[in-house]
A and B are shown apart, each in its own frame.
Chain A
Amino acid sequence: MSLFIPEIDYDDARMVRLMLSRLIEPDDRLFAALREVAAPAEMLRAILERGWSPPDWPAQLVERLEGRRAGMELKLPGADPMADLAAGAAVGARFLIPGDADWPDSLEDLGERAPFGIWMIGRFDHRAPSVAMVGARQCTPYGALAAAKLASQLARADVAIVSGAAIGVDGASHRGALHAGGATVAVLACGIDRSYPASHTELIQAIGQRGAVFAELPPGSRPTRFRFLSRNRLIAALGMATVVVEAAVRSGSLVTARLAAELGRAVFAVPGPVTTRESTGTNRLLCDGAIPAVDGPQVLAELGIEESSPVARRVEKSDTPSAATEIDPRAALVREALPTARSGRAAPVLTLAAETGLAPSEVLALLGRLAGLGQAVRTGGGWALGR
């Protein structure tokens, strides 16, 4: 069998890593073991040149490599680093390797399981805080709402939301962050030039414009079950914490959570109803010691982002109702004058105006604002405190 062996400059780190990521499936156990003893260039040479191996490699690993050779050689005819770079450039993607300015250092935490390189569209400030959000594809409306709300609150505090662009919780998290005008990062389980799922093509484009899209697999690769699982380790690594929103007991999201914990990242779980299947996994996580995720400010506080930091203040200002009314003392005045809903009483605007000394038109506008925060309600005869 005649082999097509491309000419490779083993000193060109980018070319070496491009080739490796073409020939080796992400998160391959054998090569993870080899990386403890070998440099990438040596690994590539051992694949390409039959019979060549550094003398210090353990014999057992060399044997395993020989067993895998046939499978990798099948991939060789399609391995063309220049074509990969061109295909990436066609969709605006670059291939990053360790040492590049944009290379996310957090990926190094994966050690020997770190990707050889990663394709990226858009921008990602890997020094800024980021939180991974994962969860069920078949989520309930509760899960979607919880994900979107939490993502938008965190994104507003300049926390980037990392997720997998899947349907369900992933999509809701990305959308929540985009809606809040924040940054979000999608890690794909396919080539950077593909969109999976197809229904999220536009979403993935929007993420690329407002944040970043990552893919470990070379252009043109299709997603497979194992690729989803290996992709999860990148999500866990890219976030400084991982939040699980709805997961059944046997779920990829729980794998991500376990990986995150192994990487020393904080693991959060959104508490769910004890009656739904979609929350059994998250509730089990909570029993096992995960931190409950209730809302943005609480998650930020758990992550140690100081209350007084500008980030935390911005979250509070726009999201905690009590803070909003403290900003406007007149709204607080009107709220003080409202009877409680349980009292069975209701106050018309003119009464409130008399009690607060404000103009009726002003009182009505302030009531509208309070109603928007759920703090005032119409009760069938006037206004009362919201519950």
Chain B
Amino acid sequence: MAGYGRASAVALLGLSGVLVQAEAVVTAGLSRFSLIGLPDTGLSESRDRVRAAVINSAISWPQTSLTVSLAPASIRKQGSSFDLAIAIAVLRADGKVRPAGLSETVFIAELGLDGSVRPVRGVLPSVLAAARAGYEKVCVAEDNLIEAEQVTGVSTIGVRTLRQAVAYANGEPIPDEPSVPVLPRPVPSPSPNPDTPDMADVLGQFEARLALEVSATGGHHLFLCGAPGSGKTMLAERLPGLLPPLDERAALEVTAVHSLAGTLHPAKPLVTEPPFCAVHHSATVPALVGGGAAVIRPGAVSRAHRGVLFLDEAPEFGRVALDSLREPIESREVVIARSAGVATFPADFLLVAAANPCPCGLAMSTHGACTCSSRSRSAYLGRISGPLLDRIDLRVDVSPVGSTELLAAAAGGLASESTAQVADRVRQARDRAVRRLRDTPWRLNAQVPARFLRTHWPLGADSLEGAEQALEAGVLTARGLDRVLRVAWTLADLAGRDRPGRTELDTALSFRLSTTFHSGAFA
């Protein structure tokens, strides 16, 4: 067919990709260029980029009527990743590039006006979609190459310029091109820190260290309360290191999310360690759970998938924003419905919420006197809604490390356990839990419904004595008891015991969120 050409690309909706054909037809008539097939505004700009890139690559532009259609036309398409496929389709229609053979290549890249090929977000999920659709060859920008290579079973090629892409599509030797001045890419927030924070840096903090270990083992969400400078952030940052490294499937899942969010580090495009995502309290609902009108982007909960979501100054967050976390915590995924379609992002994270004990932060601190009224102090933590607190199993109060501990550490004594030592215990305890839960749909103690725990592994009256007294004294609610039970099982897993005893139950009691806490009566 004369004057017709096509090339493949991928349209992403959330993390799921659909293969799209860019079809181009050159017909006699006035010189014009129309792009059809539900493109959004950003994609319509593609016409200008493609034309400029072709002309600046010293290839002639067809001076006739040109129509490019993105099929299937019913799917809304967004972003700049179709540029390269459109250019190849046009050049094929014009006879400058030979038609697609039997084994087609998928083109995923943006074009610069100078003919350069630029990286885009979401390459990993796009390549995964291509592989799943049976395509074997993918052409991406050179800067996206490492990310694209993470998908097995697909041969990938990275190009710097449109000329290289044309040569590749024609099966010719690829010309060497001067490296394009690297565009300053937005610096991704969770950049892999060269020195990962280690538990050995945490001095003292017996309870907080234990709470981190329990949280990492059983998947229990954590609440840290303490004056500024008591090390809440420092502790939270060390939680991902205690989690087991991501297996291959999890790594691809996490990388795909970060690719779409644009937070992948170019030098280390496969996320293999559990991510840490800290959110500022000004965050909106879309920033937390994901969203966006035209382009649906994953939110913080998905960037923290398989890792840790840290909310510092939790009471300062908007109530609506905090409550939006309830659904992802329950279902471990986020479903975002927009006119363009419904996107699902994974959101299986450990929540660490931190708060000062009062608005000025000085209550219980040794540095100064608190200036808050008792009313504002008790109302402060009450801002976190009860339903969210209901999902948090562990509460720890932290105070700044005492001078004795600092001096002892300076003198070389009092060495704290390292991340590696603790993580090893966590791994063994997790194995125990997985063995015990092997015939159930759950893998972590925090996921197991309390009713199941009670009916399948009932505990002796003597271990429950303390909890019963707490129930009677009205300090513990029935729901609080469920949390205590789950944490006690995790403590038993860590201690290598078959079932929790009195010590585990009592320790779990000490971690419970007090019932008076939410109603505002907070000492």
Roughly how many angstroms separate A341 CA and B364 CA in the complex, as a whole number?
Answer: 10
Roughly how many angstroms separate A346 CA and B230 CA in the complex, as a whole number?
Answer: 13
Shortest distance between the CB of A376 and any CB in chain B (Å): 8
**With A379-B523, A380-B227, A380-B357 as given contacts, are A364 and B364 in contact (CB-CB < 8 Å)?**
no
**With A324-B469, A369-B509 as given contacts, are A344 and B475 in contact (CB-CB < 8 Å)?**
no
B475 contacts A372, C-beta separation under 8 Å: yes
Which B residues touch A367, using CB under 8 A? 510
Roughly how many angstroms separate A377 CA and B357 CA in the complex, as a whole number?
Answer: 14
Range, interface on chain B: 35 or more
Which B residues touch A371, using CB under 8 A? 470, 475, 509-510, 512, 514
Q: Mark B348-374, 1 if CB is under 8 A from A, else 0.
A: 000000001110000111000010000
Which B residues touch A387, using CB under 8 A? 523
B523 contacts A364, C-beta separation under 8 Å: no
B36 interfacial by beta-carbon distance below 8 Å:
no
Roughly how many angstroms separate A321 CA and B466 CA in the complex, as a whole number?
Answer: 11
A298 interfacial by beta-carbon distance below 8 Å:
no
B466 contacts A368, C-beta separation under 8 Å: yes
Q: What is the chain A residue whose CB lies nearest that of B395?
A: A378
Roughly how many angstroms separate A381 CA and B366 CA in the complex, as a whole number?
Answer: 10
Which A residues touch B364, using CB under 8 A? 344-346, 379-382
One of B83-91, B116-124, B500-508 at the interface: B500-508
Q: What is the chain A residue whose CB lies nearest that of B467?
A: A372
Q: Which chain B residues (220-272) contact chain A, with CB distance < 8 Å?
A: 225-227, 230
Shortest distance between the CB of B223 and any CB in chain A (Å): 10
A319 contacts B363, C-beta separation under 8 Å: no
Which A residues touch B206, using CB under 8 A? 348-350, 353, 360, 364
Roughly how many angstroms separate A79 CA and B169 CA in the complex, as a whole number?
Answer: 104
B473 contacts A378, C-beta separation under 8 Å: no
B136 interfacial by beta-carbon distance below 8 Å:
no
**With A360-B206, A367-B510, A371-B510 as given contacts, are A380 and B225 in contact (CB-CB < 8 Å)?**
yes
Q: Which of B227, B399, B514 contacts A377 (CB 8 A)?
A: B514
B507 contacts A361, C-beta separation under 8 Å: yes
B397 interfacial by beta-carbon distance below 8 Å:
yes
Q: Which of A319, A321, A346, A366 contacts B399 (CB 8 A)?
A: A346
A378 contacts B397, C-beta separation under 8 Å: yes
A341 contacts B469, C-beta separation under 8 Å: no
- Specify which of A373, A378, A384 lies most central, judged by the most chain B CB atoms within 10 Å of its CB: A378
A374 interfacial by beta-carbon distance below 8 Å:
yes
**With A372-B476, A378-B397 as given contacts, are A365 and B227 in contact (CB-CB < 8 Å)?**
no
A149 interfacial by beta-carbon distance below 8 Å:
yes
B176 interfacial by beta-carbon distance below 8 Å:
no
A152 interfacial by beta-carbon distance below 8 Å:
yes
Q: Which of A364, A372, A373 contacts B207 (CB 8 A)?
A: A364
B204 interfacial by beta-carbon distance below 8 Å:
yes
**With A348-B207, A381-B357 as given contacts, are A372 and B469 in contact (CB-CB < 8 Å)?**
yes
A351 interfacial by beta-carbon distance below 8 Å:
yes
Roughly how many angstroms separate A377 CA and B515 CA in the complex, as a whole number?
Answer: 11
Which B residues touch A341, using CB under 8 A? 523
Roughly how many angstroms separate A345 CA and B370 CA in the complex, as a whole number?
Answer: 12
Which A residues touch B511, using CB under 8 A? 368
Shortest distance between the CB of A320 and any CB in chain B (Å): 10
Q: Mark A329-349, 1 if CB is under 8 A from B, else 0.
A: 000000000000100111011
Roughly how many angstroms separate A288 CA and B386 CA in the complex, as a whole number?
Answer: 44
Roughly how many angstroms separate A324 CA and B206 CA in the complex, as a whole number?
Answer: 26
Shortest distance between the CB of A386 and any CB in chain B (Å): 8
Roughly how many angstroms separate A378 CA and B211 CA in the complex, as a whole number?
Answer: 14
Which A residues touch B73, using CB under 8 A? none
A318 interfacial by beta-carbon distance below 8 Å:
yes
B-to-A contact residues, CB < 8 Å: 204-207, 210, 225-227, 230, 356-358, 363-365, 370, 395, 397-399, 402, 405, 466-467, 469-470, 472-476, 502-503, 505-512, 514, 522-523
A-to-B contact residues, CB < 8 Å: 145, 149, 152, 318-319, 321, 324, 341, 344-346, 348-351, 353, 360-362, 364-369, 371-374, 377-384, 387
Besides A351-B402, A380-B357, A380-B522, 17 other CB < 8 A contacts?
A145-B474, A346-B364, A346-B399, A348-B206, A348-B398, A348-B402, A361-B210, A362-B503, A365-B502, A371-B510, A372-B466, A372-B509, A378-B397, A378-B514, A378-B523, A380-B226, A380-B227
* Sample (5) of A-B pairs whose CB atoms are under 8 Å apart: A346-B364, A349-B207, A365-B502, A368-B511, A378-B514
Closest 6 interchain pairs by CB? A380-B357, A372-B470, A381-B364, A368-B510, A368-B509, A365-B506
